[in-house]
């Protein structure tokens, strides 16, 4: 599956690096949320976005939402500007 990077932002929260990457994929969009911990352990969540409702649920469930909310706002705006619906 070919993918094109459409958005990427990172922030350090305490000792963890939080990165959000939005990719344009053949069937819409894919969001990757990567956490790199102090000991370099990493975890990645991937969300294939078919609608704004599922994106909003994912964003609101993020334990770092208070810090990365501006990133989610930018991503949501990009999705709506590109025509993704509720």
- With respect to residue 86, please indicate whether it lies within any of the assigned structural domains: no
Total-model pTM = 0.91
pLDDT tens digit at each of 86 positions of the chain: 689 999 999 999 999 999 999 999 988 899 999 999 999 999 999 999 988 999 999 999 999 999 999 999 999 999 999 887 76
Taking the chain, what is the end-to-end CA distance rounded to the nearest angstrom? Answer: 24
Handedness of CA 48, 49, 50, 55 (dihedral sign): positive
- With respect to residue 60, please indicate whether it lies within any of the assigned structural domains: yes
Distance CA 44, CA 27 (A): 20
CATH classification of the domain holding 11 = 3.30.2450.30
**Number of separate domains in the chain:** 1
Helices 65-81 and 52-61, axial angle in degrees (round to 10)? 170
The number of C-alpha atoms within 13 Å of 74 and in the hemisphere containing its C-beta is 13
The boundaries of the domain holding residue 71 are 3-81
| Per-residue confidence (pLDDT) for residue 1, from 0 to 100 | 61
In this structure, what token pair is assigned to residue 5?
């990077």
């Amino acid at each position: 599956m070919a993918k094109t990077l459409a958005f990427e932002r990172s922030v350090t929260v305490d000792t963890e690096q939080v990165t959000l990457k939005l990719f344009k994929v053949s069937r819409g969009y894919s969001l990757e949320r990567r956490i790199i911990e102090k000991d370099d352990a990493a975890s990645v969540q991937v969300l294939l976005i078919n609608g704004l409702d599922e994106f909003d649920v994912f964003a609101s469930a993020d334990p770092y939402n208070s810090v990365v909310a501006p990133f989610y706002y930018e991503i949501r705006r990009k999705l709506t500007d590109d025509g993704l619906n509720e």
